[in-house]
Amino acid sequence: MKNKKTVIITGGNRGIGLGITKVFLRNNYNVFVGSRTGFSKESHNLNIKSVNHFKIDVRNFNDHVKLAKKAIELTGRLDSYINNAGYSKWVSINNIEEKFLNNILETNLKGVFWGCKAAAKFLNSENPSIINVSSLAGKRGSLNNSAYVASKFGVNGLTQSLAKELGEKNIRVNAVCPVLIATKGLIKALEEEEAPGKKGAIKFIEEFSRINSPLNRMPTSEEVGEMCLYLASDKAKAITGQCINVDCGVLPQ
């Protein structure tokens, strides 16, 4: 166990995070998942016994610290920290209330801040890497989505700033920016009253793909995981401060 690389993935128990977890398990990592709930039904084909799962709230810095210490205690190392936990919700500015705004910013942005802070303290390998799961929404605004968009713009800014700050410690900091991925959480969010898929999330994603994607499809959660794996690897030693789209060409840059 101590000869294998170790990765922490917040929110790695469902949605995009589950896809990332699967990829790192396949590539022989010690995988530590921190989340508020256990593994979902989506993970039925995953060997749960091979994952070290701990209950944490990403909004609490001390939870990140405990998770990092546990990973090092059990494996002797911490190579990569992936801040994935977050959620989507479309709400128009007129309907945004303080409770909702505080929660989405604390989860999507503050949770990443605390994860990065813990990672900066505890990463201890020769090629340490922080990877933040952002969104294409961190690069352009969209209707009725100001709170989520603001949180993801913040993640991208944090990523770029910390790449400069932590470079002297040889810690690389990058973000991945997926577009719409049909997880259960996204489908639920898309079908709410002020969301663009309220008449049917799957139909909306299919139409969005047809119009916007040169590949005529959206990426999968495991394709996001493959990008994270690359950014965590020795092959990416020269890459830091980047917010890389995983979007099937929706926003060419």
Output the pLDDT for position 162.
98
Q: What pLDDT, on the 0 to 100 scale, is given for residue 182? A: 92
pLDDT of amino acid 47? 61
Count Cβ atoms within 10 A of the Cβ of residue 125 and give its class: 0-12 exposed, 13-18 middle, 19 or more buried: middle
Q: Which candidate in 81, 87, 148, 230 is catalytic?
A: 148
Q: Is residue 160 part of a domain?
A: yes
Which CATH number fits the domain that encloses residue 59? 3.40.50.720
Q: Is residue 215 part of a domain?
A: no
Residue 132 is assigned to a structural domain of this protein? yes
Give residue-wise pLDDT tens across range 21-39: 999 999 999 999 999 988 7
Say if 194 falls within a structural domain.
Answer: no
Task: Answer yes or no: 230 catalytic.
Answer: no
CA torsion 190→194→200→201, rounded to 10°? Answer: -20
Please state the pTM of the whole predicted model: 0.95
Half-sphere exposure of 82 (CA within 13 A, CB side): 34
Strands (E), 19-170: 30-35, 51-55, 80-83, 129-133
pLDDT at position 44 is: 55
Q: Is residue 165 part of a domain?
A: yes
Range of 77's domain? 6-179+220-246
- pLDDT tens digit at each of 253 positions of the chain: 667 999 999 999 999 999 999 999 999 999 999 999 887 665 556 666 689 999 999 999 999 999 999 999 999 999 999 999 999 999 999 999 999 999 999 999 999 999 999 999 999 999 999 999 999 999 999 999 999 999 999 999 999 999 999 999 999 999 999 999 999 999 999 999 999 999 899 999 999 999 999 999 999 999 999 999 999 999 999 999 999 999 999 999 9
Q: Are strands 51-55 and 80-83 parallel, antiparallel or unpaired?
A: unpaired
Number of domains in the chain: 1
Q: Report the distance separating Cα 9 and Cα 150, nearest Å.
A: 23
Sign of CA dihedral 190, 35, 146, 149: negative
Please state, in angstroms and as integers, the Cα–Cα distance from residue 62 to each residue in 21, 66, 76, following that order: 23, 6, 20
